A and B are shown apart, each in its own frame.
Chain A
Amino acid sequence: MFNQLLINGIIAGAIYALVASGFSLIYSVCKFVHFAHGAVIAFSSYFLYLLFSILGLNFGFSVVLSIIFASILGFLIDKIVYKELRKRKASNTILLIASVALLIFFESLILILFGADVKIIGYIKISKGIEILKAIITPLQIVIIIVSIILLILLFLFMKKTKLGKAMRAVADNKEVAEVVGISAEKIYSWSFIIGSAIAGIAGILVGLEQNLEPTMGTNLMIKGFTAAIIGGVGSVPGSILGSFLLGLVENFGIWFLPSGYKDAIAFIILFIFLLFRPQGILGIKR
């Protein structure tokens, strides 16, 4: 039982980490809450469904196209909506409201385009799980964990080692000085959306393979990703990853004591506890 819950927790954590890391990256650079990140995730799932399940394209090709699509969608959201609002000197609260509006807009768009019924991508036939240490895990779940960890390591190296990654951290740290040394903040904002949304695309694909697709899936994932980011320290990408795994584990171990229907309630209770007593999160710096 313990091992099974541990593995379930890690699987959930891996998915949350993919949601939270992209979201946190965008938040740390642009300093506003981009809830429409959830819509990018959902759209990427549906896009894969369209390409692979409806049009019957090659699976690998569909995956790559879906990631690129998510990336472009994120870029365009920033370019068309957020950038225009920033130009008009909109506050971060206005941007947050816009992001919620975008989330609802895109979910409604999915509803109109694909309908309300649950969709299945169906690439992986329901396979029997493998037993590891008395816990059952499916091959797809192993893939999710591995892809998630590799991606997070790559993201970490990108932020630490590349010039663009360092410039993103510089803008996140002090936008005014970044401008003074010749870094264009607007360009870096665009890059944070391109990269953050590509990660969202990968998250959407993995979630779409593991679970069923429904128009509101983005909101559900975003709530978990947001909670994870708050727990870990919003604005800190490593923090959001830590928070994700913590949330996944606590949720799953929680149902040891409580009926499984309380899983989401546990997440919210943790969110409130952190917002009340440690709003800067575990790794966040109090400013």
Chain B
Amino acid sequence: MLKIQNLKAGYNGMEILRGIDFEIKPAEIVAIIGPNGAGKSTLLKAIFNLCDIYSGKIIFKDKDITKLPTHYLIQEGICYVPQGRQVFSTLTIKENLEMGSFVLEDHELFKRNLKDIYSKFPFLKERENELAMNLSGGQQQMLAIARALICDPELLLLDEPSLGLSPKAMKEIFEKIVEINKEGISVIIVEQNAKKAVEIADRTYILENGNIVLEGGKEILKDERIKSIYFGGE
């Protein structure tokens, strides 16, 4: 569904990704893990054209989407949830969702999607007229994900969705991600919480220093060497 070939990207001339090959198939969850500064977030940003791409290709459904503007990517079916519970805190919950569907021209479609979102996240409907800043951390992260889902994407990019959340909220978020995936939406998830991410993922890429050093399935959970480096030696 999405294929990346020999991607080199970074910021202001600095190369962070040094030739990435990556693939995600329809309805898969793919986790990207690795140490800080490995370029995990940059990889998501490169897909969403939020950093500088120096060479390489990103292909989505047989179409070259490298360096396409954001609104175009959303219309193509890719949505991105940035790191750190990013919501419009001074807007109401409903307005947040409305802004999530900014690129949709069709108001009826928005209404349909909103109904759908409300059935998936009932607490959002209950509090639709409250300001987003009044939500708890976990709820804000849910809102951020809901805001991305309202465009009905085929591919969802999640940048550290569990960052700074309580263990309970973290668990709920991961459950939600699996639930979203079961509806056929492909998910690329970048995580510090590597163990949890690998557990829900169909496949995992390990990124180090801007290169992919390993690709595998759930079996990497048992690999002693990887365990000691990425899963805190548990």
Residues of A within 8 A of B (CB): 163, 166-167, 169-170, 172-174, 176-184, 285
Contact = CB atoms under 8 A, between A and B. Distances in A.
A181 B74 contact: yes
B71 A177 contact: no
B93 to A, nearest CB: 13
Given A181-B103, A182-B74, A173 B147 contact: no
A1 B50 CA distance: 62
Contacts of B95: 166, 169-170
Interface of B: 48, 50, 70-71, 74, 80, 82, 86-91, 95, 98-100, 102-103, 147
Given A181-B103, A182-B103, A166 B98 contact: yes
Contacts of B98: 163, 166
A173 B89 contact: yes
B99 A167 contact: yes
Chain A interface mostly helix, strand, loop or mixed?
Answer: helix
Contacts of A163: 98, 102
A182 B102 contact: yes
22 contacts: A166-B99, A167-B99, A167-B102, A169-B88, A169-B90, A169-B91, A173-B91, A174-B88, A176-B82, A176-B86, A177-B86, A177-B87, A177-B88, A178-B99, A180-B48, A180-B82, A181-B103, A181-B147, A182-B70, A182-B74, A182-B103, A184-B71
Contacts of B89: 173-174
Contacts of B86: 174, 176-177, 180
B129 to A, nearest CB: 12
A283 B32 CA distance: 43
A166 B98 CA distance: 9
A182 B91 contact: no
Contacts of A173: 88-91
A166 to B, nearest CB: 6
A86 B87 CA distance: 24
Interface centre among B80, B87, B90 (most CB of A within 10 A): B90
A177 B91 CA distance: 13
A180 B80 contact: yes
